[in-house]
Chain A
Amino acid sequence: MASLSELSLRNRLFMARYRYRALDPVPFARPRKPLQEARVALVTTGGVYLPSQDPFDCAMKGGDPSFREIPSEADVETLGIAHKSDAFDQTGFQSDRNLGFPLDRLREMAARGEIGALSPRALSFMGSITAPGRLVKETAPAATALFEADGVDVALLVPL
């Protein structure tokens, strides 16, 4: 388990003072069908983007709350990474995108029948959002609407 003590002093001081947004009450949807029949979508906060897309705006105050749609047949090794956080070691993710964007692993699980299907698009956010107002009001609902349109039953979220 990682702990806050791994972080730099500056990051620790920020996080000690930061007031996290808590889900209250915690919404809880039961899976609609067994995993072997479910359509699964992937969400990462690793800030990955296709070479044809605009990268995220790492200089935006409070963090860039936008997301990129990544087709599920994308070659993960060609994706750019915009996440500029200095809070963690990025070398592992740079060398293997599946560490935080496990599209290949989910494709394999779908091929073996462990999950019903992989949804047609994954979504990529940038993690370092300290002012999540627009995320909560605009981009998370927009992302949810895309997944509803795709008939997604289960979403897997991986933080980076």
Chain B
Amino acid sequence: MCHQTVGLIAGELERRGIATTSVTALEEITKKVRTPRALAVPYALGYPLGKPGDPELQTRILRAAFALLEAPGPPPVLADFTEAWSRNVP
């Protein structure tokens, strides 16, 4: 249900002009809710940023999520996390 909650809050923020990005571990639900921007990660529920105690991986996932802000749309924007996303960022 947390993925619906994220989508609905993101919808309200976007309606009022605040751009959002998010991470999803349950692509099926994110597609149903039509969350404006979401990065699908290949990790188990409860592990949206990959691994505990792995700040480098967590940062790479965040960079990839922020990169979705540059996607031209149309929404919903949904992309898979791959390590290639983060390599262009210093």
**B62 beta carbon closer than 8 Å to chain A:** yes
Asked if residues A90 and B46 are in contact (CB atoms below 8 Å), the reply is: yes
Residue of B nearest to A45 (CB): B2
**A69 beta carbon closer than 8 Å to chain B:** no
Cβ of A41 to closest chain B Cβ, rounded Å = 8
Residue of A nearest to B20 (CB): A155
In the complex, what distance in Å separates the CA atom of A60 from the CA atom of B45?
Answer: 23
Asked if residues B43 and A2 are in contact (CB atoms below 8 Å), the reply is: yes
Asked if residues A154 and B29 are in contact (CB atoms below 8 Å), the reply is: no
**Residue tally, chain B, CB below 8 Å to A:** 62
Interface residues on A, range: 35 or more
Known: A106-B62, A108-B59. A27 touches B2 (CB 8 A): no
Asked if residues A20 and B9 are in contact (CB atoms below 8 Å), the reply is: no
Cβ of A72 to closest chain B Cβ, rounded Å = 15
Residues from chain A with Cβ under 8 Å of B52 in the complex = 92-93, 95-96, 98-99
Residues from chain B with Cβ under 8 Å of A96 in the complex = 52-53
Partner of B13, one of A83, A88, A95, A155: A155
Instruction: Give residues of chain B (1-54) contacting chain A, Cβ–Cβ below 8 Å.
Output: 1-29, 32-36, 40-53
**A115 beta carbon closer than 8 Å to chain B:** yes
**Count of inter-chain pairs, beta carbons less than 8 A:** 218
Asked if residues A89 and B44 are in contact (CB atoms below 8 Å), the reply is: yes
| A to B CB contacts below 8 Å, 29 in the list | A1-B25, A1-B43, A2-B43, A6-B44, A20-B4, A20-B32, A20-B33, A21-B4, A26-B14, A26-B76, A27-B36, A32-B19, A43-B9, A45-B5, A85-B2, A91-B46, A92-B52, A93-B46, A93-B47, A95-B53, A98-B52, A108-B55, A115-B66, A140-B11, A144-B18, A155-B10, A157-B20, A158-B48, A159-B25
> Which B residues lie at the A interface, using CB under 8 A?
1-29, 32-36, 40-53, 55, 58-59, 62-63, 65-66, 69-70, 73-76, 89
> Which A residues lie at the B interface, using CB under 8 A?
1-4, 6-7, 15, 20-24, 26-32, 35, 43, 45, 63, 83, 85, 87-93, 95-96, 98-100, 102, 104-106, 108-109, 114-115, 125, 127-130, 132, 135-136, 140-141, 143-144, 147-148, 152-160
